[in-house]
């Protein structure tokens, strides 16, 4: 942190947290509440940036990925969701395994490292569908890592399999599953659960399922949907529950704050989140989740400009190229659903960070076509970033 910013934080209302962060001490529930209550976004971001740079230096990770949302039929009716098929809303669809194969074959020329699959809870799909889906993806893109199924999907799959969750996870793993995206955590409190998504898994079930996955060797991410009816205290409770689970298993890779978008949901009266709230969610996530290796500023959710800024507010990951994404309609109308690798690299460089292509487990991918995009490569025409920091 440069001297001016350090002095600014040391003389401000969060000076005591500066000492805690510098000494690597864990922030408490009360600290978390104070951070959310504070309007000193500069100080919050600067504190988060200390942790970010201690853990990940100047690197910003990205991945080349394709999303498959295999069905939008869902019997859970979550009030914040605009994805599932309903009257006056999206038309229903379900992909056969052949449909999935065709989608993947269309992108065969792209060296993707991740296939990301999540969907609704279709009450009529059998257990065999999920196993076939995994086998189809593995057979079509054997080189790609399969990250699939939120906790509510896993609970549905377990119900169909009628076996303990450990056994089901091992069977999915044997058929190609490599990790879990960690979606659907929303806000891990009973009040928010009972108000917004009573038919979905509870906070306890979400955490238990994630921790079971970790124990059988399947890493996961963890999300937080913010900007709807949750209180500041509930956001902090959510983060502390994740931190405690991580203390036990160490299986979470990345925390992904998801900005709530109300368009097309039953909560249309709630305005969209602001850039300031998006940056705060990322920064406070970085500060509270001291045991999470990575924090993502998901460009598609918070827009590319905010995702760039987020790289100085605690985020060290910007997600990926994303081919086809159906979940958030409002965002996908305003922004392209796909960014080329060149565009992603340019965005990261322009933000003043070092772009690093990763696989879903954060192994660095070294490829000639990645190297040619970097500024020091002969013939490169990308402008160097402006001096940052």
Among 27, 43, 74, 168, binds ligand SF4 (CB under 6 A): 74
Report whether 221 contacts 184 (CB < 8 A): no
Please say which residue, 130 or 292, places its beta carbon nearer to ligand SF4: 130
How many residues form the binding site for ligand SF4 (CB under 6 A)?
12
Q: Are 32 and 290 in contact (CB under 8 A)?
A: no
Least Cβ distance, residue 325 to ligand SF4 (angstroms): 14
Q: Is 76 in the site for ligand SF4 (CB under 6 A)?
A: yes
Per CB under 6 A, which region of 30-38, 73-81, 109-117, 311-319 contacts ligand SF4? 73-81
Distance in Å, CB of 92 to ligand SF4, minimum: 12
Closer residue to ligand SF4 in complex, CB, 50/213: 213
Give the three-state DSSP class for 150: coil
Sheet hosting strand 114-117, strand order edge to edge: 65-68, 114-117, 145-148
Q: Where are the alpha helices (DSSP H) in 216-256?
A: 232-249
φ and ψ at residue 255, rounded to 5 degrees: -100, 130
Considering only residues 200 through 219, tell me which ones interact with ligand SF4, judged by CB under 6 A.
200
Angle at 151 between CA 48 and CA 237, to 5 degrees: 40
Under DSSP, the state recorded for 71 is B
Q: Does 20 bind ligand SF4 (CB under 6 A)?
A: no
Closest distance to ligand SF4 from the beta carbon of 82 (Å): 8
For 28, how many CA atoms within 13 A lie in the half-sphere containing its CB?
4
Where does this chain touch ligand SF4 (CB under 6 A) — which range of 69-77, 129-137, 243-251, 303-311? 69-77
84-113 positions binding ligand SF4, by CB under 6 A: 84
Looking at beta carbons only, is 76 or 329 nearer to ligand SF4? 76
* Structure token pair of residue 281: 């969610």
Does 152 contact ligand SF4 by CB under 6 A? Answer: yes
Three-state DSSP class for residue 389: coil
Q: If residue 343 lies in a helix (H) or strand (E), which one and from where to where?
A: helix 341-350
Interface ranges with ligand SF4 (CB under 6 A): 74, 76-78, 81, 83-84, 120-121, 152, 197, 200
């Amino acid at each position: 942190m440069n001297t001016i910013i350090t002095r600014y934080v040391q003389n401000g209302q969060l000076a005591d947290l500066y000492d805690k962060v510098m000494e690597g001490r864990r922030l408490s529930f009360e600290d978390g509440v104070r951070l959310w209550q504070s309007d000193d976004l500069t100080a919050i971001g600067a504190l988060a940036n200390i942790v970010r740079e201690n853990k990940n230096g100047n690197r910003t990770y990205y991945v080349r990925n394709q999303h498959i949302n295999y069905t939008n039929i869902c019997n859970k009716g979550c009030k914040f969701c605009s994805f599932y098929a309903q009257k006056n809303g999206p038309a229903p669809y379900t992909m056969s395994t052949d449909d999935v194969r065709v989608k993947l074959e269309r992108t065969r020329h792209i060296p993707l490292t991740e296939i990301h699959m999540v969907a609704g809870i279709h009450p009529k799909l059998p257990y065999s569908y999920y196993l076939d889906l995994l086998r189809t993806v593995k057979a079509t893109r054997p080189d790609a890592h399969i990250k699939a199924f939120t906790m509510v999907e896993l609970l549905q799959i377990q119900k169909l399999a009628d076996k303990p969750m450990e056994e089901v996870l091992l069977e999915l793993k044997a058929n190609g599953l490599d990790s879990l995206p960690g979606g659907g955590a929303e806000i891990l409190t009973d009040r928010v659960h009972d108000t917004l998504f009573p038919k979905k898994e509870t906070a306890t079930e979400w955490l238990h399922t994630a921790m079971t996955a970790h124990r059988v060797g399947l890493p996961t991410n963890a999300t937080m949907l913010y900007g709807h009816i949750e209180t500041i205290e509930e956001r902090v409770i959510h983060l502390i529950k994740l931190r405690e689970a991580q203390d036990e298993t160490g299986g979470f890779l990345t925390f992904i704050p998801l900005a709530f978008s109300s368009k097309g949901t039953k909560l249309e009266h709630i305005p969209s989140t602001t850039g300031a709230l998006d940056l705060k969610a990322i920064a406070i996530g970085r500060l509270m989740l001291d045991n999470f290796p990575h924090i993502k500023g998901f460009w598609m959710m918070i827009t590319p400009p905010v995702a760039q800024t987020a790289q100085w507010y605690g985020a060290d990951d910007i997600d990926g190229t994303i081919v086809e994404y159906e979940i958030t309609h409002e965002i996908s109308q305003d922004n392209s659903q796909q960014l080329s690798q060149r565009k992603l690299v340019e965005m990261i460089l322009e933000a003043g960070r070092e772009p690093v292509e990763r696989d879903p487990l954060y192994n660095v991918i070294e490829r000639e076509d990645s190297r040619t995009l970097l500024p020091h490569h002969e013939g490169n025409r990308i402008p160097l970033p402006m001096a940052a920091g």
